[in-house]
């Protein structure tokens, strides 16, 4: 087998190597595609001052139970560079791109723009061809080499990749996961990234489009050509032989795992310490309607040793909250129907019918209603693209269909049965051992950016929409006319079209989607020191939390499970009522410009290009924590048990006194012992309102009955302010899992994975 494909493998490797060398010198090429790391380490005095400020905040909020030997460190475990297919696309003039951002930019940005403590490079494995994978690993190692040794590096860079699976139906969809490896030595990392399969159709379409567009912008001919050649090289990259141990495969082949069980098998064959972090679960741009995270609770596909954390918030929105609305109703036989709208939710299939009704014109009332029903039926069958039913309709005609109206910074096209709260409410018997404890997700929570411009930790300032979010810039001249061309015309605008199946469209190309792109969230860990080992250990024990972007300090502890308090992420079995403590301190207000350490640590020209002269630059004033909420979730104990009553959000709400030094309170659950079932609790610290980019997605206008009658897309036509609106930023602790000794194995044994996935569809 190797002999038959070795020539093609060598050709693919040479093509990618050529791209790395040639993209910067071709006609109209990009000189930044292979920029080196230029920044120096932040001074130890700066790190010490940050630690001292945090210790003072902990003392001020009266957190004696918080381990004084630990500190809160902030990072971003979801970062893409221009080595990803979409990151590369976003560099082009077609999308208003500002040029390439290679992995080296992530290091310099994290160190001197966002001043993070750690980050992970996670480019899409599906286009991480051999030379790009090797270059990425070397860049991360160089970043760490600058950081200093021992327990006090200024920055820890982790290496990883994203497994980007997106099935076109609920049955074939598994979603996206980041794979983060503990160590960065060559012998501690896979020889190849593991992708979800070659998406050759989408790449071919993109390559053809780019080769057409370059005629409209000959000054950038080299950049467009380089991207098309990159896609062609990815399509020519040969797939590895199936069923062969990863260590026996050729170094240059494309390693593929179509489903999680194969991914886990390959990771086990490598044998390295790795974290697998699901993300973007509720994002309807690529998640088909009807998708249900319950099917992931299959021991073939779920690996709790690797899956310790889940991304609750990113630049693509909040995935926390469960709602009982449904984009589409499923009958027991699998057929679909369109639910009526409610005061809180407008299904896109319903709005398709309303668009049709407005077009009926001279049609008879009977024929009009027939076509309204047809439009709704067609849209209900569209898994991710209901707008295909009327491709000529202005985006505003779809109003706010498919969106969570009362969620903070929600992901686009919200899928509630993929939300974090819904996942944490699930439980199912272990099919291999019915006497064992039921299978459950026991995730810790983090935030991340999911940025595609090598900018870890965006969102420290709510400015520069095209820098802090994945929103595209504005193409100029003739390219602007190409991008802003009118919607696709229809032969008969009064006849709804059946949606077509095919590769998912380019993320961010829809202005409705761009209204739901935000500055990124952050991961925080309680670590014993700043070392790689300490950060990794904190993530493994789930002593971590996520924020929507600001650096909120948060402690959440179980007080009466032993001699010492147990921190967030812990598990305990109690026969008595649990008692908890929660402490939160608001983020520091930002000053304009960049601090001296950033100005001295990075050349002025590079500082301007990467962070546009605006860095993480905290002052002395902290935002007020307005409230702390406790969410209580009781995982199911029998198959088919209703979901919504067991997700109590909030179960408790503590109004804070408005003290900038922080907020704290203690509480008990007086019903736990008598309830006889397992419970998990997590804390949500909520800051006072502040202005945020895309803070009010779609800016819906509603009538007296609460129905949406108009929306305003955030197009950026009035500058680059990014449609700011007041938002209550927040932090989410990892849960504390309190099990009841009488609850083990209590889930009814009558269910199955198939029936569990159908919960509340009927």
Query: Does 167 score more than 60 pLDDT?
Result: yes
- Does one domain contain both 144 and 292? yes
Give domain status of residue 130, yes or no.
Answer: yes
Structure tokens at 272: 């390295």
State the pLDDT at residue 326.
93
Q: Quick one: which H or E segment has residue 547? A: strand 544-547
State the pLDDT at residue 119.
98
State the pLDDT at residue 715.
75
| CB-based contacts of 439, cutoff 8 Å, min separation 6 | 297, 299, 302, 427, 428, 429, 430
d(CA 733, CA 684): 6
- Does one domain contain both 141 and 166? yes
State the pLDDT at residue 149.
78
d(CA 23, CA 428): 52
User: Which parts of 591-689 are beta strand (E)?
Assistant: 618-622, 625-633, 647-655, 663-668, 679-687
Residue range 35-59: mean pLDDT, rounded: 93
Residue range 242-246: mean pLDDT, rounded: 96
Structure tokens at 332: 């027991």
User: 3-state DSSP: the chain helix, strand, coil percent, rounded to 5?
Assistant: 30, 20, 50
Query: Does 404 score more than 90 pLDDT?
Result: yes
- Judge contact between 684 and 629, C-beta under 8 A: yes
SS (H, E, C) 172-213: CCCCEEEEEECCCCHHHCCCCCEECCCCHHHHHHHHHHHHHH
- Of 115-119, 164-168, 258-262, 714-718, least confident by mean pLDDT is 714-718
Whole-structure pTM value: 0.93
- Judge contact between 273 and 189, C-beta under 8 A: no
- Does one domain contain both 309 and 380? no
Q: How confident is the model at residue 475 (pLDDT cuts 50, 70, 90)?
A: confident
| DSSP codes of every residue in 492-521 | -TTSPPPPPP-SPPPTT-SHHHHTT-----
Q: What letter would DSSP give residue 32?
A: T
- Does one domain contain both 365 and 442? no
- Of 103-107, 139-143, 177-181, 211-215, least confident by mean pLDDT is 211-215
- Does one domain contain both 565 and 424? yes
State the pLDDT at residue 473.
77
- Does one domain contain both 563 and 621? yes
Taking phi first (over 0 means left), then psi (-120 to 50 degrees means alpha), and beta for anything else, what does residue 748 get?
beta
State the pLDDT at residue 750.
31
d(CA 692, CA 724): 5
- Judge contact between 697 and 403, C-beta under 8 A: yes
Residue pointed to by tokens 């990749």: 161
Give domain status of residue 701, yes or no.
Answer: no
- Tens digits of per-residue pLDDT, 593-646? 999 999 999 999 999 999 999 999 999 999 999 999 999 999 998 888 999 999
Q: How confident is the model at residue 742 (pLDDT cuts 50, 70, 90)?
A: confident
- Does one domain contain both 648 and 588? yes
State the pLDDT at residue 384.
87
Give domain status of residue 579, yes or no.
Answer: yes
Residue range 478-483: mean pLDDT, rounded: 65
State the pLDDT at residue 76.
98
- Of 180-194, 213-227, 438-452, least confident by mean pLDDT is 213-227
- Tens digits of per-residue pLDDT, 552-592? 999 999 999 999 999 999 999 999 999 999 999 999 999 99
Reference 141, options 184, 77, 107; nearest CA is 184
Q: Give the whole-number percent of the chain exceeding pLDDT 70.
A: 90
* Greatest alpha-carbon span in the chain: 79
Give domain status of residue 7, yes or no.
Answer: no
- Does one domain contain both 301 and 348? no
Reference 563, options 70, 72, 68, 65; nearest CA is 65
- pLDDT averaged over every residue in the chain: 89
The boundaries of the domain holding residue 380 are 329-403+473-507
State the pLDDT at residue 69.
82
Q: How confident is the model at residue 83 (pLDDT cuts 50, 70, 90)?
A: very high
- Tens digits of per-residue pLDDT, 3-23? 333 443 344 444 445 455 444
Q: How confident is the model at residue 436 (pLDDT cuts 50, 70, 90)?
A: confident
Residue pointed to by tokens 């012992």: 673
CA 556 to mean position of chain CA atoms = 24
Reference 520, options 592, 612, 455, 585; nearest CA is 455
Q: How confident is the model at residue 478 (pLDDT cuts 50, 70, 90)?
A: low
- Tens digits of per-residue pLDDT, 327-368? 999 999 989 999 999 999 999 999 999 999 999 999 999 999
CA 95 to mean position of chain CA atoms = 21
Reference 90, options 370, 366, 472, 465; nearest CA is 472
Q: How confident is the model at residue 717 (pLDDT cuts 50, 70, 90)?
A: low
Give domain status of residue 253, yes or no.
Answer: no
State the pLDDT at residue 68.
74
Residue range 410-437: mean pLDDT, rounded: 89
Give domain status of residue 208, yes or no.
Answer: no
d(CA 527, CA 67): 10
d(CA 559, CA 567): 9
> What CATH number does residue 524 fall under?
3.20.20.140
Give domain status of residue 576, yes or no.
Answer: yes
| CB-based contacts of 478, cutoff 8 Å, min separation 6 | 216, 217
State the pLDDT at residue 66.
60
- Does one domain contain both 582 and 483? no
- Does one domain contain both 283 and 301? yes
Return the higher-pLDDT residue of 388 and 184: 184
d(CA 645, CA 634): 9
Residue 45: other Cβ atoms inside 10 A: 9
- Judge contact between 369 and 496, C-beta under 8 A: no
Q: How confident is the model at residue 761 (pLDDT cuts 50, 70, 90)?
A: very low
Return the higher-pLDDT residue of 433 and 282: 282
Q: How confident is the model at residue 40 (pLDDT cuts 50, 70, 90)?
A: very high
- Tens digits of per-residue pLDDT, 506-557? 433 477 888 999 999 999 999 999 999 999 999 999 999 999 999 999 999 9
Query: Does 722 score more than 90 pLDDT?
Result: no
| CB-based contacts of 491, cutoff 8 Å, min separation 6 | none
d(CA 227, CA 23): 9
State the pLDDT at residue 762.
25
Give domain status of residue 704, yes or no.
Answer: no
Query: Does 225 score more than 50 pLDDT?
Result: yes
- Does one domain contain both 340 and 459? no
Residue range 661-678: mean pLDDT, rounded: 96
Residue pointed to by tokens 């951002």: 101
Q: Which residues of 650-664 are buried (b: 16+ CB within 10 A; e: fewer)?
A: eebebebeeebbbbb
State the pLDDT at residue 485.
61
State the pLDDT at residue 480.
65
d(CA 329, CA 318): 24
How many domains is the chain built from? 2
- Judge contact between 538 and 525, C-beta under 8 A: yes
- The helix/strand/coil state of 705 is coil
- Does one domain contain both 435 and 482? no
State the pLDDT at residue 380.
95
**Which of 456, 486, 507 is the last residue before a domain boundary?**
507
Query: Does 31 score more than 80 pLDDT?
Result: no
d(CA 403, CA 760): 19
| CB-based contacts of 236, cutoff 8 Å, min separation 6 | 8, 11, 12, 15
- Of 117-121, 463-467, 588-592, least confident by mean pLDDT is 463-467
- The helix/strand/coil state of 392 is coil
């Amino acid at each position: 087998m190797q002999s038959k494909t070795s020539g093609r493998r060598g050709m693919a490797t040479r093509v990618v190597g050529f791209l790395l060398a040639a993209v910067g010198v071709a006609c109209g090429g990009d000189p930044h595609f292979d920029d080196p790391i230029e920044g120096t380490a932040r001074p130890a005095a700066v790190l010490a001052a940050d630690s001292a400020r945090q210790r003072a905040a902990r003392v001020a909020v009266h957190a004696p139970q918080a381990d004084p030997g630990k500190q809160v460190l902030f990072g971003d475990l979801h970062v893409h560079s221009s080595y990803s297919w979409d990151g590369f696309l976003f560099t082009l003039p077609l999308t208003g791109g500002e040029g390439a951002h290679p992995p080296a930019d992530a290091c310099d940005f994290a160190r001197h723009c966002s001043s993070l403590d750690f980050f992970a490079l996670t480019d899409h494995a599906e286009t991480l061809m051999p030379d790009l994978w090797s270059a990425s690993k070397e860049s991360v190692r160089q970043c760490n080499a600058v950081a200093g040794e021992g327990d006090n590096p200024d920055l820890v860079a982790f290496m990883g990749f994203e497994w980007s699976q997106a099935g076109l139906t609920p049955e074939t969809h598994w979603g996206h996961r980041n794979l983060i490896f503990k160590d960065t030595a060559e012998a501690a990392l896979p020889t190849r990234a593991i992708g979800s399969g070659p998406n050759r159709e989408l790449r071919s379409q993109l390559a053809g489009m780019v080769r057409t567009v370059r005629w409209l912008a000959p000054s950038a001919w080299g950049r467009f050509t380089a991207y098309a050649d990159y896609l062609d090289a990815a399509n020519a990259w040969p797939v590895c032989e199936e069923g062969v141990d990863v260590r026996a495969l050729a170094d240059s082949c494309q390693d593929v795992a179509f489903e999680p069980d194969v991914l886990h098998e390959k990771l086990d064959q490598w044998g390295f310490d790795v974290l697998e972090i699901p993300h973007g679960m509720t994002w309807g741009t690529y998640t088909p309607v009807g998708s249900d995270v319950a099917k992931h609770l299959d021991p073939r596909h779920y690996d709790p040793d690797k899956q310790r954390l889940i991304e609750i918030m990113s630049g693509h929105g909040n995935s926390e909250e469960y709602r009982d609305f449904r984009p589409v109703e499923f009958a027991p036989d699998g057929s679909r129907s369109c639910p009526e709208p409610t005061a809180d939710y407008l299904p896109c299939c319903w709005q398709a019918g309303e668009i049709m009704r407005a077009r009926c014109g001279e049609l008879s009332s009977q024929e009009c209603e027939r076509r309204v029903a047809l439009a709704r039926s067609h849209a209900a069958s569209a898994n991710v693209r209901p707008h295909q039913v009327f491709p000529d309709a202005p985006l505003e005609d779809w109003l706010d269909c498919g969106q969570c109206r009362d969620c903070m910074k929600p992901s686009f096209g919200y899928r509630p049965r993929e939300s974090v709260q819904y996942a944490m409410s699930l439980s199912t018997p272990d099919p291999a051992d019915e006497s064992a404890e039921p299978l459950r997700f026991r995730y810790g929570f983090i935030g991340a950016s999911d940025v595609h411009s090598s900018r870890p930790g965006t969102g420290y300032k709510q400015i520069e929409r095209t820098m802090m979010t994945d929103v595209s810039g504005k193409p100029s001249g003739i390219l602007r006319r190409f991008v802003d061309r009118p919607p696709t015309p229809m032969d008969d605008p009064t006849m709804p079209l059946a949606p077509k199946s095919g590769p998912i469209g380019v993320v961010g190309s829809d202005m409705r989607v761009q209204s739901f792109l935000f500055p990124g969230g952050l991961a925080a860990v309680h670590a014993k020191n700043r070392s790689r080992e300490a950060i990794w250990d904190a993530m493994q024990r789930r002593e971590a939390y996520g924020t929507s972007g600001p650096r909120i300090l948060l402690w959440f502890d179980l007080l009466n499970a032993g001699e010492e308090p147990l921190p967030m992420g812990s598990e305990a079995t109690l026969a008595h009522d649990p008692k908890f403590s929660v402490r939160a301190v608001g983020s520091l207000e930002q000053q304009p410009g960049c601090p001296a350490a950033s100005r001295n640590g990075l050349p002025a020209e590079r500082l301007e290009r990467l962070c546009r002269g605006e860095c993480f630059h905290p002052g002395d004033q902290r935002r007020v924590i307005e409230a702390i909420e406790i969410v209580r979730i009781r995982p199911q104990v029998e198959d088919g048990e209703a979901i919504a009553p067991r997700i109590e959000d909030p179960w408790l709400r503590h109004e804070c006194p408005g003290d900038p030094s922080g907020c704290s309170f203690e509480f008990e659950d007086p019903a736990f012992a008598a309830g006889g079932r397992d419970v998990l609790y997590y804390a949500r610290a909520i800051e006072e309102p502040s202005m945020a980019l895309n803070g009010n997605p779609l800016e819906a206008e509603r009538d007296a009955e609460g129905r949406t009658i108009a929306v305003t897309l955030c197009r950026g036509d009035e500058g680059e302010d990014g449609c700011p609106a007041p938002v209550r930023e927040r932090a989410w602790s990892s849960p504390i899992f309190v099990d009841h000794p009488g609850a083990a194995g209590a889930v009814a044994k009558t269910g199955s994975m198939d029936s569990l996935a159908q919960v509340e569809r009927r």
